[in-house]
Amino acid sequence: MDKQEKALLIARAAQDPEDRLLLARVLDKQEQMERRNIPASTGFLSPREQMMAVNLLNAAGIREGYVLDGGYEEAERKVLTFLPDWAEEDPEALTFLRAKFRGADSTLTHRDILGSLMGQGITRERVGDILISDHSADVVVSPSLAEFLLQSWDSAGRVRLDVSAIDREELTVPQVQIKEVRDTVSSLRLDAVAASAFSLSRGKAAELIAAGKVSLDHVPCEKPDKPVLEGAVLTVRGLGKARLAECGKVTKKGRIALRIERYV
């Protein structure tokens, strides 16, 4: 792919300059893998960035030869790794650390852990998911950070930490709490489904959509009439995340039965 083709693909895939820069790095990693014939990985990508990257690769005709991995199946932040024909995975793409909290009464939140890492000058793209347990936090990070964190990361706020490396299989993934919502809607418009998912009036849902506070499959959407497909993920800023788990039968009154999973 020459520079002009690459620039055209990126321009079609993203309007924002930061998004274009991200997508340029994605294609650079793919070319690096082909040139060196070794695995090449991006930093950690958000769900929105993952979708943008995959859409770009599809547009470029690249539909295989890469994996998205965040350390466990339900991971939110993932690294995109391009693999040569001889490799099925890159065992060096991720590192896993466990930070144990000193003191029986010590507690920390996701924000506390992330803040302590950012306070050391670590950029977000080098940190994956942070999994909080009662007395520890498991963190997925870029391998290049491992030695530094093992030697230097010893506190978060006032809580002292004991940090050690763990294997992927040792990750403690908190159980996600889900509230099931069953409702009927007149159509599968975004405003209607969002209203059901988050117990809003349809007018309020439309207002939030117009304000750019609603994302559909991790991409901000300001169109209230955008169709929502089964399996789609809705996110409303300040209210959380939900998934349209099932579209059921149409009732006698012509309404569509829905089963929604709301994350609480």
3-state secondary structure 221-232: CCCCCCECCCCC
Domain boundaries, the chain: 3-82, 95-170, 178-263
Alpha-carbon distances, residue 170 vs 12, 137, 165, 232 (angstroms)? 41, 12, 10, 30
Q: Does domain 3-82 have CATH number 3.40.50.10800?
A: no
Q: With contact defined as beta carbons under 8 Å apart, do 157 and 228 qualify?
A: no
Parallel, antiparallel, or unpaired for β 240-250 and 127-132?
Answer: unpaired
Query: Which CATH superfamily includes the segment(s) 178-263?
Result: RNA-binding S4 domain (3.10.290.10)
In this prediction the pTM is 0.84
Phi and psi torsions of 28, nearest 5°: -60, -40
pLDDT by residue, tens only, the chain of 264 residues: 788 888 899 999 888 899 999 999 999 999 999 999 999 999 999 999 999 999 999 999 999 999 999 999 999 999 999 999 999 888 889 999 999 999 877 889 999 999 999 999 999 999 999 999 989 999 999 999 999 999 999 999 899 999 999 999 999 999 888 999 999 999 999 999 999 999 999 999 999 999 999 999 988 899 999 999 999 999 999 999 999 999 999 999 999 999 999 998
CATH label, 95-170, candidates 2.60.40.10, 3.40.50.970, 3.50.50.60, 3.30.70.330: 3.30.70.330
Per the rule left: phi > 0, alpha: psi between -120 and 50, beta: everything else, 132 is: beta
